[in-house]
Chains A and B, each alone.
Chain A
């Protein structure tokens, strides 16, 4: 079955760019008509959708983050998230997930923004 796994730095300095990659295993990212998304959860708080990308590369973003976010499909069955100009408010657990109703999730990775 399909599994997702995030990777990337756990610590990012303020004003820098947060970069995460989600590796898809057990399926091909470009072979099905799926959306692939990023969601985050600040410590002790609820879920926030960051953005999603369709298998053809069309990307859709949370309006509140749109000016700082880029999601792209990479080679080797991966998709990535870049969030620039980060602040402490971007500290969160970051998840990647499949489909519009998120049926498969990654385990989550904690990213802390701190100098």
Chain B
């Protein structure tokens, strides 16, 4: 099983700041099949990034994904109030696994 470890577990920032979330895989992610999701309370997750760096339809360009192999990053360039949520990474290269999540909180 390809275990995904997200860091930090929680991040406190202010609107307008830059957020950097990390996802590390225990094995190389095949074909960089790595996705990022945003989840708000009581809602289903929303796909932000697929293939490590491709924004999903309708996702603002302040969200960007990067990385390859075992190390991946989600960057939110300038935080908006609606960006405070839990973020999950997900690899779908070999079977499917999710990271444990990073909670992005308002400072």
User: Which positions in A face B, CB cutoff 8 Å?
Assistant: 37, 46-49, 52, 60, 62-63, 95, 100-103, 105-108
Contacts and interface: CB of A to CB of B under 8 A. Distances in A.
5 contacts: A46-B98, A49-B96, A62-B95, A63-B1, A107-B44
Contacts of B101: 46-47
B44 A48 contact: no
Interface residues on B, range: 20 to 34
Contact of A52 (B1, B56, B96): B96
B49 to A, nearest CB: 8
B100 A63 contact: no
B11 interface: no
A101 B50 contact: yes
Given A46-B88, A46-B98, A101 B44 contact: no
B85 to A, nearest CB: 13
B81 interface: no
Nearest to B101: A46
B47 interface: yes
Contacts of A102: 35, 37, 45, 47, 90
A2 to B, nearest CB: 12
Contacts of A100: 33, 92, 96
A100 B100 CA distance: 19
Q: Which 4 A-B pairs have the closest CB atoms?
A: A101-B50, A105-B44, A49-B96, A101-B35
Contact of B95 (A63, A101, A103, A105): A63
B100 A101 contact: no
